[in-house]
Amino acid sequence: MPTGIALRDVREQLFAAAERVLLRDGPHSLTGRAVTAEAGCAKGVLYKHFADFDEFLTELVIDRTARLQVEARGLIAQAGTGTVVGNLRVALEKLFGSVAVAIVGLITFRDDLRARLRAMRDVRGLPLLTEAAAMITSYLEAERDLRRVVPDADLPSVAGMLIGTGHLMFADRGSTPPSDAEVERLLFVALAGVLR
């Protein structure tokens, strides 16, 4: 029986291993065997903590999506400081420079996972990206309250546009990420009628 490494927080170590496989090899290579091999443990460890691999993937996405709430609080706390464009640039780079792009690819790649996630949620749209758009909307609302954003702006539409375009800019795992200047150019164009 393989001994592997001692796993203290098994779920988190398996999730972290899944992220590494996703980032390195893409969603088509993400299997239970690949995850447990990356984590350095026996395959049975995954099935001791999750009913099946689909449940594991579902919990991975839910866990990583929940982390956006921490990011959202941090972004909203930035309202009124720096510039709106600068704050959003950092937020988009953190969001799409992380494993989020790979998780979106995973959700898109696996129909069963996407269906399971949609059945569990009260909102429409693609998991993770929908929550990211809500984060941007909340931040822009906070900036509107501080009079740095015009009062009649359609903030959910602006946020959706930023998330969609941002995802397109960062989605190619094999290329160099966009520069700060490229991201800021996107933001200046998208926010042209929104900022005061």
Per-residue pLDDT of 8-19, as tens digits, reads: 689 999 999 999
Taking the domain 52-190, which CATH number applies? 1.10.357
Instruction: Supply angle C-alpha 9, 15, 17, rounded to 5.
Output: 100
**pTM to 2 decimal places:** 0.84
CA distances from 49 to 12, 86, 144 (A): 11, 41, 45
Please report, for the chain, the start and end positions of each structural domain, with discontinuous segments joined by +: 1-49, 52-190
Q: Give the chain's length.
A: 196
Q: Is the pLDDT of residue 1 over 50?
A: no
Q: Which of 112, 116, 101, 137 is nearest to 62 (CA)?
A: 116
Q: Which residues are paired to 149 by β-bridges?
A: 195
CA-to-CA distance for 167 and 157, rounded, in angstroms? 15
Do residues 132 and 168 lie in contact, with contact meaning Cβ atoms separated by under 8 Å? Answer: no
Nearest CA among 68, 67, 55, 46 for reference residue 2: 46
Whether the pLDDT of residue 123 is over 80: the answer is no
Instruction: Assign domain 1-49 to its CATH superfamily.
Output: Homeodomain-like (1.10.10.60)
Instruction: State the CB neighbour count (10 A cutoff) for residue 111.
Output: 9
Q: What is the mean pLDDT of residues 82-111?
A: 89
Q: Average pLDDT for residues 43-53, to the nearest whole number?
A: 92
pLDDT of residue 2: 45
Has residue 3 got a pLDDT over 50?
no
Residue 109 near residue 31 (C-beta atoms within 8 A): no
22 touches 103 (CB < 8 A): yes
Residue 124 in this model has a pLDDT that exceeds 80: no
- Cα distance between residue 144 and residue 176, in whole Å: 34
Same fold, 1-49 and 52-190: no
Candidates 193, 69, 195; CA nearest to 138 is: 69
Query: What value does the CA radius of gyration of the chain take, rounded to a whole number of Å?
Result: 19
59-69 tens-digit pLDDT: 999 988 888 88
- pLDDT(6) > 80: no
Q: Which two tokens stand for residue 55?
A: 């449940």
